[in-house]
Amino acid sequence: MKLRIVAAMLVAATFVSVARADVNVGVTLSATGPAASLGIPEKNTVALMPTIIAGQKINYVVLDDASDTTTAVKNARKLVSENKVDVIVGSTTSPNSLAMIDVAAEAETPMISMAASSAIVDPVDARRRWVFKTPQNDVQMSTAIVEHMTNNGIKNVAFIGFADAYGEGWFREFSKVAELRKLKIVASERFNRTDTSVTGQVLKILSSNPDAVLVAGAGTPAALPQTTLKERGYKGRVYQTHGVANNDFLRVGGNSVEGTFLPAGPVLVAAQLPESNPVKKSALEYVNKYETAYGKGSTSTFGAHAWDAGLLLQNAIPVALKKGQPGSKEFRSALRDALEGLKNVTVSHGVVNMSAVDHLGFDQRARVMVKIENGAWKLQ
């Protein structure tokens, strides 16, 4: 008899917790595995997000997908079926995010990705209706690089990128823009994140005699081609992508990355932005918040992408709450509509203006050119 009462209470307790209408935010990111250097600051950032939005309690369920696509999909399924989340934030890498689109669309749950590839939100079709993202597209960044190159009289350029989706995506976008602007790509090489030597690729690049070299890699592994170039006496310009924008890159690259140019989100050089820049305030706010919690010099642009996802939610959830109860289908659909309707939202990486055809919503204000000078990022 006693047992039965206890059981009944337990069942009742479960029902109560389901009926409680908090907003559940499911997060899956790559805190371990090859993309850990991006995933860890994102995870740290999630811990700084507000737990109450518009008087509504927000629960965050954070899962690690170990930079693995299958696990990312499994996490996404778990989040929608077990945790009944109202929105998915994730994942860190493009392959993972691309694979999660189907889950989000099937469960009719909005998803905000923190990965770069434009294929995640473009084109906005029946499935991608549900998907948004916060990092700048590789197209925007390659345009910035090509512009900077042509403005500086560079005629031919060599490309060396990761032998994965990141490098391939960059090569595709970069070569498209380069062709339009009559920039000649004289060599195209690949290397792996874990390679211990890129001498072969670098020698090949040197033999093609380029005015500039573009290294398309993420994080500290992107320093290796540049170090080797320097060792082999290359004197031309080197460009990197926004994938290297964290302080560990400066530490590992040391002297050999001096004078490198790269496009990046404004948050990287938040303190150097002119007062007139609308992004300055929100970027500094994130930097201060992160560094108070995790120490000086610890911010990276990757964590800021997660922060921006949080900012989008803070703007969209109050709107959606008027249309439905959290946990319901109506609420998820209203949240999607609210995200799509966001206008002039200043986040740490730029200003967002979403529309039915643009689920990223960034313009020129979302990127700046940065040069590495005396071991620090310098706004150009």
Between 182 and 235, CB nearer to other proteins: 235
**β-strand pairing of 52-53 with 131-133:** unpaired
In the bound complex, what is the minimum distance in angstroms from residue 165's beta carbon to other proteins?
13
In the bound complex, what is the minimum distance in angstroms from residue 154's beta carbon to other proteins?
22
Q: Read off the tokens for 186.
A: 């004289």
Between 254 and 375, CB nearer to other proteins: 254
In the bound complex, what is the minimum distance in angstroms from residue 247's beta carbon to other proteins?
9
- Window contacting other proteins (CB under 8 A); options: 122-130, 193-201, 288-296, 361-369: 193-201
Strand segments, DSSP code E, in the chain are: 23-29, 52-53, 56-64, 87-90, 111-113, 131-133, 156-162, 184-191, 212-216, 237-240, 261-264, 345-347, 350-352, 368-373, 376-379
Between 127 and 251, CB nearer to other proteins: 251
Between 255 and 374, CB nearer to other proteins: 255
Q: Does 194 bind other proteins (CB under 8 A)?
A: yes
Question: 233-292: which residues touch other proteins (CB under 8 A)?
Answer: 248, 251-252, 254
In the bound complex, what is the minimum distance in angstroms from residue 270's beta carbon to other proteins?
22
Q: Does 172 bind other proteins (CB under 8 A)?
A: no
Rg of the chain, C-alpha, whole Å: 22
Go through the chain and tell me how many residues it has: 380
Between 170 and 191, CB nearer to other proteins: 191
Say whether 127 sits in a helix, a strand or coil.
coil
Which of 26, 34, 310, 327 is the binder for other proteins (CB under 8 A)? Answer: 34
The phi, psi pair for 351, rounded to 5°, reads -120, 130
Which of 102, 125, 231, 373 is the binder for other proteins (CB under 8 A)? Answer: 231
Q: How far apart are the first and last CA of the chain?
A: 76
Q: What single DSSP character describes residue 128?
A: G
* Helix 301-321 vs helix 36-46: crossing angle, to nearest 10: 40
Residues in touch with other proteins (CB under 8 A): 32-34, 36-37, 39-40, 160, 163, 189-192, 194-201, 203-204, 207, 219-221, 223-224, 231, 248, 251-252, 254
